[in-house]
Amino acid sequence: MKVYIILSILLLQITHIYPRCGLHEHKIVPKVNTAFPKEDNLRFLQQNPWTQIKIFVDYTFMNSQTTVDKGMLDLAKKVTDETALIFTNLLSVQRSSNKLVKLVENCDKITMALMNKQITSTGIDTDIVIFPFFDTTAGETTEAYAAPCSVDPNTGRPLAGLMAFNPKNFPVDRKNAFEYYSMLVVHEINHILSFNSVLFDYYINPATGANLGKDKIVKQVVVNGINRNMIITPKVVAAARKHFNCDTLQGVELENQGGEGTAGSHWESRVMLGDFMIGESYSEVIISEISLALMEDSGWYKTNYYTGGLFRYGRNAGCDFVQTKCVQNAKTKYPDTFCLLAEQEMCFANNLAKGYCSLKVGTKDLDANYRYFENPKFGGYEKADYCPVATWENDNKNLMYFSNSCAMGLTTYANLGEKISSNASCFMSSMIPKNISDFDSLKGKNRAICYDITCNPQTKTYTAQVLNATINCPTQGGAVTNPDMDGTFYCVDYNKICTRTATCRDALECVIKKVTPANLTYDYTPAPTTTPTTNPTTGPTTTPTNSPTNSPTNSPTNSPTNSPTNSPTNSPTNSPTIDNSGNNNTNLNFVGIYLLSLILILF
């Protein structure tokens, strides 16, 4: 018995799983609702006003799941209710003539006996019904999945859908669990509402009610030598062209990895990293204008763009950012986003979180289309076509979601005045106080760190507060110094940092507070904001190091101290780690494997 306990502990310590959406596990083809007759004509589409969407959440089945932990049930209900409010703030619909949703057949696993009786009898006054439950058979890496099961006979708009949580992958005792699962549910409900390959066939022209046809929605193109599907609907194309500053952009790519369900029903992470509709959990989760544009292009919704402009990945980067490889011959045109030095500290691309470079050496050669370095095993984040982007894998260790977030995470550098707040953003900096010997060990070392900022829309400049020094950042950004500090502060250009018209700490709060993005135009050329690095590494030459932890100080403080904390953080090393899976889904600690082997031998 003791051996089994030890084995379980070791397996927990040596395995890291990237949780993901489980749409691939349970793909449902929705049925046309037959509870009410189909309209002879669609004149009501021109006559009916657009009104705030009504969402009814039916907890009948979930309430009967007595074997599921009560804490899980309570959290699932709380985040689902919150998410329903998020969508009522975002969406308007043209209601059907009878203004009721009635079901006369099962919603896949949700049988009619498990539904609210009113739904199956007279119908309920709502625009859509969601059936949440816990699926005890879901796979280990799946967090949740959702799909529509019934669509309107006239417009094709979804009328009902199920949403499943995985009790094996639903820890409720972590800090920020509510925020994390709220964003997860926003993602899943959107699979019911519009972003789902099985729904593309139902998209309509809202003016006429005519079906658009899938050829007007998805197009196959070749990008970087790979056949890819992309969304080509008009509002998506317009939003993407504006965001990336690329007037010739044909559309936005869909994910091509992850199997059926993940591929084709999520954005391609290389192009849309951080958006809430990519297929795998990521440290930055943001509602982009591009995703909201797709909801409008379905023909079923009008959207309020309460995004706060937080999606900044690739902003103004030009066509090459989207249409060419992220790294070519171990060089990149976008060093703010794509890194060349394994495990170096860096900010996430939206400047809302801190992390480190995802470059690793696997055991398998990467596909030729994903090779960016001389070593064919050397690559970055799998779902972003192995591009080397910022990553973070320490939430499990910290028992906290978003532990690297500048808005709700943990303080790493309290001694340097780091701030975690709704006004904080991530910057690269080597700044330390002048003439204080206690800081000598940090001199000349660049780090990803969060600082409060104050934006000035009139001058298109902003300030950042570093201890007692005020850093004045110019419109175009770039490297700046301060007479009271040693080192350099790397300012991000104004349009990538001052995007909110009011304070909101994350995507959810932006919607709740109805914060629109600032009206930003590039009448200037942004300056480089990255620190110089050594030549890119191509793999470890000695025993690889463990992943960096950036562990926070035990007692994060709001007030900066004048000397370093007694327990320095574990800064990232410059040696890449080994990824034995070859696909970044599992990081194995070799010490743990060695101990596990010893135990098995002794047993």
* 332 within a domain of the structure (yes/no): no
Residue ranges of E strands in 430-525: 432-433, 447-456, 461-466, 469-473, 478-480, 485-486, 489-491
- Please state, in angstroms and rounded to a whole number, the distance separating the CA atoms of residues 283 and 275: 10
The predicted pLDDT at position 78 comes to 97
Q: What is the DSSP letter of 260?
A: B
CB atoms within 10 A of CB 142: 21
Residue 577 CA neighbour count, 13 Å, CB half: 25
If you average pLDDT over residues 437-464, what whole number do you get? 93
Digit-coded pLDDT (tens) for 74-131: 999 999 999 999 999 999 999 887 789 999 999 999 999 999 999 999 999 999 999 9
* 535 within a domain of the structure (yes/no): no
Whether 280 contacts 265, CB under 8 Å: no
Phi, psi of 577 (to 5 degrees): -90, 165
* 295 within a domain of the structure (yes/no): no
Digit-coded pLDDT (tens) for 42-73: 666 667 889 999 999 999 999 999 999 999 99
* 110 within a domain of the structure (yes/no): yes
β-bridge partners, 54: none
The predicted pLDDT at position 312 comes to 97
User: Which H, E and C letters describe 320-351, residue by residue?
Assistant: HHHHCCCCECCECCCCCCCCCCCCCEEECCCC
Contacts of 177 (CB under 8 A, 6+ apart): 75, 171, 401
* 386 within a domain of the structure (yes/no): no
**DSSP letter string, 165-197:** E-GGG---SSBTHHHHHHHHHHHHHHHHHT--T
Q: State how many domains the chain has.
A: 1
The residue ranking higher by pLDDT, 173 or 435, is 173
List the domain range (segments joined by +) for residue 37: 24-202
Q: Tokens for 489?
A: 């502060």
The predicted pLDDT at position 438 comes to 82
Whether 224 contacts 368, CB under 8 Å: no
The residue ranking higher by pLDDT, 586 or 268, is 268
Q: Is 304 helix (H, G, I), strand (E, B) or coil?
A: coil
* 78 within a domain of the structure (yes/no): yes
Which of 131-145, 244-258, 494-508, 547-561 comes out lowest in average pLDDT? 547-561
The predicted pLDDT at position 537 comes to 46
Contacts of 242 (CB under 8 A, 6+ apart): none
Q: At residue 472, what is the residue type?
A: N
Mean pLDDT of the chain: 85
* 83 within a domain of the structure (yes/no): yes
If you average pLDDT over residues 182-196, what whole number do you get? 96
- What burial letters (b/e) apply to 306-332, b meaning 16+ CB within 10 Å? bbbbbbbbbbbbeeebbbebbbeeeeb
Identify the CATH number of the domain in which residue 41 sits: 3.10.170.20
The residue with tokens 């007479």 is 483
462 falls in which pLDDT band (50, 70, 90)?
very high
* 489 within a domain of the structure (yes/no): no
Task: Give the dihedral of Cα atoms 574, 320, 488, 438; nearest 10 deg.
Answer: -30
